[in-house]
Amino acid sequence: MYHELPVDAYTSWEWYQREQDRIFSRVWRYAGFAEDISEPGQYISVQAGANNILIVMGRDHRLRAFHNICRHRGTQLLRATGKAQRAVTCPYHDWTYDLEGCLIAVPNAEREYPSGIDKSQLGLKAASVDIWRGMLFVHPDPPERSPSLAEWFGAVDPHLGPVQPAELTEIPAQRTSMEVKANWKILVENYVDVYHLSHLHSATLDMYDHAKAEYGWHGSHYAFWEPLVAMDGDRHDNGGRGGSGDHGAWVPMLFPGIGFATSDSEWSTYIITPLAPDLTRVESRTKRVSKSTWNSLWSEWPSTRGRPEGQKAKVGKKEAEGRDDPLASGNFIAEDNYVCEQQQKSMTSPFFEVGPAAQGESPVVNHQRVVLSFLK
């Protein structure tokens, strides 16, 4: 079994632009949690390939999505998040739109447009917004042309674990954003690589039984589950995926670059956004059951508190290359980012050559095939 993407797929601007056009500009894109927009006037914006899309709640409490582009000169109307009271005004020439996307005011219209201007034809261009599992997603096409969000994720939905993120509470302190000096596909491929779990993360993720991991593809999306290592006093009853005694981690990667890490009590998002052929932004948010429920789980299931992350590291202090060596950090994310960046660096060498894919890397090859299917 061999990898199916050339080195150019990870290094060239031509590949990057093709992916922006044929993948990220044509599929549903994660935008946030549903509660991010809870009252009229609230908005967020999200980059979906070449498209910056804003989601706003109208006066009728309906969510609507529009391309974040003024119909006059194309200036971006709104920045990342905020609250528009009753209207959206372009900062350039003060063209103003209501929360339903209609153009309602053009300053000095009679003087500037003596032949008249038809505001009814200059409303914001519609995009699509929908909610799935308590999360917001956008699509660049208008509602009448966008595919069904439920169908897009339908095949993988039963394999995401028992927790519903809409029922959890966000932990603000665990919201992070970082830039990794590697191609987005390297990060995704590392995420779905089962082979590396018991090697790179032999210390940081040793609370999981990697040999018993179950994984597979459902349409364009990858599902993964692995159990916790049994410990003294643990009450595993092997209740089946999602069963009351089946404690472990569900770590799917939905296409393109929408990762989740979930358990009996948590739901974390891991959103991968390409910025350049060799640069990727990773944003993460975490939600958890209520404090009382968490305390109950902690008491009932010893495995939920056993072997906490960060107690061990890949290399010890003697082998560490400085105080900030990621392999000595005891943090599995730092370990992942390090190897991804090292792999990206190697791809510029004329001696770089990918070896054969191991069985545990079969999800990597499958992801490459999904990418190729969109670029045909």
pLDDT tens digit string along 151-194?
999 999 999 988 899 999 999 999 999 999 999 999 999 999 99
Q: What is the pLDDT of residue 312?
A: 77
Q: What is the pLDDT of residue 238?
A: 38
Q: pTM score, two decimals?
A: 0.89
Which residues of the chain fall short of a pLDDT of 50? 232-245, 298-310
301: which 2 tokens? Answer: 């299931």
The DSSP 8-state label assigned to residue 21 in this structure reads I
C-beta separation of 96 from 111 below 8 A:
no
Is residue 44 helix, strand or coil?
Answer: strand
Cα distances from 244 to residues 247, 266, 338, in angstroms, run: 8, 15, 36
Give, for 341, the enclosing helix (H) or strand (E): helix 332-346
C-beta separation of 51 from 70 below 8 A:
no
DSSP code string of 64-78: EEEES--TTT-----
Q: What is the pLDDT of residue 327?
A: 76
CA–CA distance, 369 with 366 (Å, rounded to integer)? 5
Q: What is the pLDDT of residue 326?
A: 78
